[in-house]
Amino acid sequence: MSHPNVSRRGFFAGVGALGIATTLSACATSTPAKPAGGGSGSTALALKSRETSDKSRKAMQALLDEFVKQHPQYKTTLNTMEAAAFQQQIRADLTLSTPPDVLTWFAGEIASNFAKQGLLLDATSVFPADGYSEQFAKLSTDATGKKIFVPTNYYWWGVFYRTSMFEKWGVSEPKTWDEFVALCKTLQGKGVSPIALPLADSAWLTASWFDYLNLRINGATFHRALLAGQESYTDPKVAKVLDTWREVLPYLDPAGKGLAFQEGSAKWQQGKDAMFLCGPFLADAMPADVKEDISFFQFPIIDNAVPVAEEAPLDGFIASAHSANPEGAKAFLGYVATPAAQELYLKISENAVLPANSNAKSPLSTPLLEKGRALIASAADVTQFFNRDTNDDQLNVLTTALVKFIDKPGEAADILKLWQSDSVKARGN
């Protein structure tokens, strides 16, 4: 149940967002796994979580407590690990002879790879027949049609701004890319830096720009194929993405490269930067009066012929295929899929995310959350985020390429060639 994330993942663990970190390759040595389902008579159920904020810990424990009320035969334990260490160890955890039964995780390519390796428990029997959108159900399914992930919450990405500041500057939300470029020009003419992009500890933010531009120009099918290595970064379609982004590079905050995320968000909060492509975690540490003043608009439409896809990172739970208590693990997965469980977690954690089950209500419903819900509900397709749809190795390659592009946009062709070469090396083929 989480947000995103200095790797993109682990960055926000300290402020209540639920990230992850570093690469999957740095995994601990594990004991060889025993056959799936061994020891099915066990009543112990171990949950391993990366939810490290105080409220998130309490919310996770509340889930376990309520689960035990409904299933008193199980004895549960909660092990919470710092996000970066969790990410480094999860592959090893899934192959242990005595693994955690259930783990917090997220939808995307890494979960699919775990499933291909036979590491995830088949949760098809407890996956709800309704309550999940077609997109969310698809993201929970492996290549063989089995449900291997249970979504519990999600968030969205958009271009965030402060309503009072837009009113002060006399500007409004743009709908198209041309309108967005014109808005940037207007704001700059008023002495306002149009776009926040702090990169000192958050170069992964460049991935959000690449994702959205590629989705708006080339569509979700090409985007996924590119991230899977089935298309090349030297393709003219990708060159067009950079050419389009170049139109707004003059409107990025020139100090952004030297700012940490928290510094950049503070500058945006103060109205010194007008817009910030981000998720709602941007406002997590901000005062209540500021949160009430925050809104966002959909990333501008570039080509009306391209079906509109949105980034909606989806979080939830997986279970180990080698669990000593597969029935208990499945029972817990079935429980967290319910509206009641998702409402309970969000009420206690107070995270600015939405329940994945459409029958669940948002306990802390706000106009901002409802606007986010409507955005994703209207999308023709849903993607995750660059390193959820690929992996952190590929994210490192992307950030190297895009930070260089911001500095030297005239070298785009050479940057794309190097990006492709580095991507192949990172993929190992």
Please enumerate in sequence order all residues whose Cβ is within 8 A of that of 420, keeping only pairs 6 or more positions apart, or say none.
232, 233, 234
Count Cβ atoms below 10 Å from residue 144 Cβ, excluding itself.
9
- The residues of the chain scoring below 50 in pLDDT are 1-6, 9-39
What are the sequence ranges of the domains in the chain? 10-155+312-381, 158-311+391-427
What is residue 428's predicted lDDT score, i.e. its pLDDT? 79
The owner of tokens 């794309």 is 416
Say what the pLDDT of residue 363 is.
85
Contacts of 89 (CB under 8 A, 6+ apart): 27, 28, 81
Would you state the pLDDT for residue 388?
87
229: left (phi over 0), alpha (psi -120 to 50) or beta: left
Q: What is the predicted pLDDT for the residue at 39?
A: 42
CATH of 158-311+391-427, one of 3.40.190.10, 3.40.50.720, 3.40.50.11540, 2.40.170.20: 3.40.190.10
| Predicted pLDDT of residue 88 | 84
Is 89:49 a contact under the CB 8 Å cutoff? Answer: no
Q: For position 429, what pLDDT does the model report?
A: 58
Q: pTM (2 decimals)?
A: 0.84
Which of 314, 366, 369 is CA-nearest to residue 158? Answer: 369
Interhelix angle 205-227/392-407, rounded to 10 degrees, is 120
Could you tell me which residues come within 8 angstroms of residue 57 by beta carbon, excluding any fewer than 6 positions away? 49, 51, 78, 80
Residue 24 is predicted with a pLDDT of 28
Spell out the CATH class of 10-155+312-381.
alpha beta
pLDDT at 11: 47
Please check whether the two domains, 10-155+312-381 and 158-311+391-427, share a CATH topology. yes
- Identify the pLDDT of residue 192: 97
